[in-house]
Amino acid sequence: MSNALLLRLFTSEFFNSWIAVSYLFRYSDNVGIQHYLCNELKGFPISEIEFFLPQLIHLLITRPSESVALECFLIEMCEKSTHIALMSLWYLQAYLADLSTHPASPSFNLCKRLLNRSQAIVFSEDSDDDDDDEEADPSRYSAEKVREHALPALVGMGAMLLGIGQPLMTRPAGRIAIAQGRRNRTGKDQLKMPLPSSTHSSYISTSQPDLPLPHHSKKKFNPFTSSPSLEDLHRGKAFSVGRYIKNAHHKLNRKMMMNEERKSTSSSTSLSVFDPALTALGQSSVPTNTAPLSPALSQCSADMDMEQRKQKRKSRQSLLRSNYFRSEMQFVLALVDIATRLVMVPKEARMSALHAELTLLNHNLPAEICLPLWCPATAEKPHHHRVVRISPSDAVVLNSAERAPYLLMIEVLDDEMNFENDDYNSALYRAARRKHANRKSVMSTSSSTTTTSSVSMATENGDDKRSITSTTAPVKVTVLNTNDSSSRRNSRSADDYAERMRTAAVMLAQLQPPNTAAPYKQNTEQIRQRIIKEMIALEEQRMQKMKTEGVSSGVGGGGGEGAGGDMLEDEQRIAWVVNKEDPSAAVLSEDWETKKARLRQASPYGHLPNWRLMSVIVKQGADLRQEQFAIQLIREMQRIWEDTGVDVWVKYFRVLVTSDSSGLIETLKNTISIHSIKKDAYTRGWNEQGAVFTLYDYFEKLWGPPDSDDFIKAQDAFMRSLAGYSVACYVLQIKDRHNGNLLIDEAGHLIHIDFGFMLSNSPGSVGFEMAPFKLPQEYIDILGGVHGEKFAEYKALMKAAFLAVRKHSENILLLTEMMSKDSKLPCFQNGDLTVPQLRDRFQLQLTEPQAEEFVDKLIMSSCCNVFTRLYDTFQYYSQVSAQWGLTNDLCIDMISFPF
């Protein structure tokens, strides 16, 4: 397509983010088109960029080119959105781990450079402790020197000449010339970096390959990409903003002293906004006999003061944003590390160990932490939620043969954090500094001045005082007062809790080695259980104290910002959680609204109107990028059906990738797996003697007879979800559809989870799943049989859904093709054949009537497919083999083939 036609398309009313991303992919080697489209993408909402983020990062890493447009665009998005910055950092760490075996490849060097730049944005205050020159300044990435490139130089000169006749064209053409001029001519980084030893490693280097290596440059410990220390967790300091500000102040003072020694000069304007001397200077009085300044000098002084306040606000915002990123990374790593440690704990002790681990973590909350994807904050509305509490006793370890994923209940306060708001930043900063000052002066003689429970602050504009807790102020910051004697007593009491908890945790850690001699193993386990019970009892006491005496009574004076809520008073209410065989079925049996009301009543934050409960599953040892990719494709199908008015139903849930082996998955509320339904039914004896309990029996048991209103509603919900997932499973070739991966919600909808096998890979070497999608007899029974009215409606709805997705197949193909090149995802094991095979499944060569006939054939092929029954039987005996230690070959021999 000619450039003129492309320009007409890009300036037409049909141009959208899909077209922009599509042509970015098609013209990945065209510098001009890349820069134009990346500039256009900046005008679309952040949510749309976030949707395409996996594809954009994969395109950049796997297709290095002469253009730097996409790289600059992603860096700019990271600067604009905290969520995109975090997710990009996690994605890039995963890609760097993938590429670590090819450190000389252009993709590795590009990924490393982009990761370094992302770290400079995210960890601006601590990217390098000791660098005191311009190389340590993160702003160097935006002020990188222009190199000797002939082509960009010619473009720049041409832009200058063009400006004579078309002045408006100078700026965009000049931007392209400067951006391309900053690119290294070799396209490779000359600075060699150590390979990653794990996804938790830090990669700190300069982004300018031809710059000399600093004399002290080496790989160093980075607190941002390391999990919190046990000492910090025990004392409640893991996410302390006060300690972070204190450390930043010390680093800045050290850097200023080094600059003073180097330059042998001093200037009053070089004082930091974090230095207490600056506040004292601003409050010092001027002698009354000083001659008045001239109007010109007064105006100059006022301008300097205004500029100083502006720099002050900017520095404070940068500092608090950096603390947010630090706390965010360490919080996620702490959750993942818990899952790692649980693997080493015997299965029967994992629940108790999980509760003890979360009890320690909970002592460090609330903190300046949110969860991307679940947090609604955007660049336009930067109001983040704030994690304030985790309910340890409501967490549960889920079933897994080799790992220990666990389900977590997290309490948040919506619209609590806003780093773009000067009042919020000032309040948070002053409160943290005041807490530190109070701790330093706790032993000194205090004056008789009394303070109120709300902390006042001076605005940047003058002496106007506002209360942080004022209902009229637009800022909501939870501030814990530590000035009065009762607060000091509470702090000492909370410190006692923390110290006792730390002692118990140390003793527990000493019992961790599994190679305990047999005679002492029983005694060791008894001691372990006693320690865990003591830790839980301590947390219950602290939560009860917070409930009755206020949140500040649970905050340690040693810097902990602990919070939380009342633990469950009656442990018997959650005894159902400890189900050794299937705890996930037990924990999900409680209605979500009932659980939310119970936790809200128990929480010291439950009375707040912006309180919200979230539930996530923490996974470690599994790459969730394919899971996220499958959900992205299903979400796009959902959008297509909504836009075209096709009334089918699929469930979108969030998947947050945090490394190449960990992540968070949104919990599907009020759902239970079909496997658990049937297992529970047999346990309760719901089936008749010798009869098989089916899903149809469950529908009757839960929603009444087939002619009842409740059953009809549930039947309709099941039919619409079955139609949607039938299309999705066929198009995406989603496999491993056993009953453990199929859920039923409270309305009767069918929900598919676990997308480890799709597009081109299948589970194991047994190709049982030969049906286009799963449609067993029990599903057909719910729809009233193959001759029933509901089954006919299902067929018509599935045809409409398939035709709608087929009409917009380019979207699905684009997302897939962009992810296919050099992908490490298992679903692309067929390589270049994966996308053509996907395109063939859309049957684009058929007319609409022919496509409808094709859907009829798919349904007929799937109805009661013998391979579906065989695979379900195989999965059943596979689970038996896991318990009995049998091999898969023995399981196959045990299966009774129904031929």
Q: Which of 270, 271, 272 is nearest to 248 (CA)?
A: 272
Nearest to 871 by CA among 890, 843, 897: 897
The mean pLDDT of 677-705, rounded to a whole number, is 86
Question: Which of 27-31, 106-110, 354-358 tops mean pLDDT?
Answer: 106-110
pLDDT category of residue 225 using cuts at 50, 70 and 90? low
Q: What is the strand order of the sheet 671-673 is part of?
A: 671-673, 742-745, 750-752
Residue pointed to by tokens 């067993």: 776
Residue with token string 């704990």: 345
Provide CB contacts within 8 A for 362, sequence distance 6+: 389, 390, 392, 539, 562, 563, 564
Round to whole Å and give the CA distance between 350 and 342.
6
CA dihedral defined by 377, 379, 381, 385, rounded to 10 degrees? 20
What gap in Å lies between CA 230 and CA 862, rounded to an integer? 54
In the three-class reduction of DSSP (H, G, I as helix; E, B as strand; rest coil), residue 787 is classed as coil
Q: How far apart are CA 178 and CA 280, in angstroms?
A: 44
DSSP letter string over 537-569? HHHHHHHHHHHHH-GGGG--TTS------PPPS
- pLDDT of 401: 67
For residue 850, what are its two tokens? 């022919």
- The domain made up of 3-145+182-192 is a member of CATH 1.25.40.70: yes
Residue carrying structure tokens 């386990």: 525
Please enumerate in sequence order all residues whose Cβ is within 8 A of that of 252, keeping only pairs 6 or more positions apart, or say none. Answer: 272, 274, 275
User: Rounded to an integer, what distance in angstroms lies between the CA atom of residue 779 and that of residue 863?
Assistant: 9
Q: List the domain boundaries for the chain.
A: 3-145+182-192, 311-441+454-616, 669-864
Which residue, among 233, 232, 280, 223, has the nearest Cα to 437 in the 3D structure? 280
Structure tokens given for 40:
């256009």
Whether the pLDDT of residue 739 is over 60: the answer is yes
Task: Look at residue 474 and tell me whether its pLDDT is greater than 60.
Answer: no
Q: What is the pLDDT of residue 224?
A: 47
pLDDT at res. 144: 53
Compute the Cα dihedral for 104, 105, 109, 111 and give only its sign: negative
User: What pLDDT, on the 0 to 100 scale, is given for residue 638?
Assistant: 96
Checking DSSP bridges between strand 742-745 and strand 750-752, what pairing results, if any? antiparallel
Residues 137-179: tens digit of each pLDDT: 333 444 455 555 545 555 555 555 555 555 545 555 555 555 5
In this prediction the pTM is 0.74
The helix or strand, by DSSP H or E, that contains position 613, with its residue range, turns out to be strand 611-620
Helix (H) or strand (E) holding 662: strand 662-666
Token pair 């720099």 is found at 311
Question: Residue 206 pLDDT more than 70?
Answer: no
Residue 644: pLDDT band (50, 70, 90) is very high
pLDDT bracket for residue 308 (50, 70, 90): low
Of residues 511 and 575, the one with the higher pLDDT is: 511
- The CATH number fitting domain 669-864, selected from 1.10.1070.11, 3.30.70.360, 3.40.50.300, 1.10.1660.10: 1.10.1070.11
From residue 415, how far is each of 315, 368, 370, 387, 418 by CA, in Å? 23, 12, 10, 11, 8
Q: How confident is the model at residue 364 (pLDDT cuts 50, 70, 90)?
A: confident
* pLDDT of the residue at 712: 94
Q: From CA 608, how far away is CA 413, in angstroms rounded? A: 8
The C-alpha atoms of residue 438 and residue 430 are separated, in whole angstroms, by 12
Of 637, 631, 478, nearest in space to 561 by CA: 478
**3-state SS record for 22-45:** HHHHHCCCCHHHHHHHHHHHCCCC
Query: Bigger pLDDT: 629 or 354?
Result: 629
List the end-to-end C-alpha distance of the chain, in Å, as a whole number: 57
Q: Do domains 3-145+182-192 and 669-864 have the same CATH topology?
A: no
Give the per-residue pLDDT at 720: 95
Helix or strand run (H / E) with residue 758: none
DSSP state for residue 658 in the 8-state scheme:
E
Nearest Cα residue to 366 out of 350, 389, 344, 382: 389
397, containing H or E segment: strand 396-397
Average pLDDT, the chain: 71
Residue 175: the pLDDT is: 57
Split at pLDDT 50, 70, 90, the class of 616 is very high
pLDDT for 28 beyond 90: no
Mean pLDDT for 856-860 is 90
pLDDT of 408 over the 50 cut: yes
Whole-angstrom distance, CA of residue 44 vs CA of residue 193: 36
Residue pLDDT, tens place only, 501-547: 656 655 665 665 555 555 556 677 777 777 777 767 766 676 666 66
Return the number of other C-beta atoms located less than 10 Å from residue 345's C-beta: 19
- The string of DSSP letters for 821-865 reads TT---GGGTTGGGHHHHHHHHTTTTS-HHHHHHHHHHHHHHHBT-
Distance of CA 57 to the CA centre of its chain: 16
Show the tokens assigned to 335: 């959750």
CB of 855 closer than 8 Å to CB of 63: no
Name the least confident of 30-34, 286-290, 375-379.
286-290
Q: What is the mean pLDDT of residues 715-726?
A: 95
Question: At residue 259, what are phi and psi to the nearest 5 degrees?
Answer: -65, -35
Do residues 359 and 567 touch, judged by C-beta distance below 8 A? no
**Beta partners for 751?**
743
Q: How far apart are CA 664 and CA 617, in angstroms?
A: 6
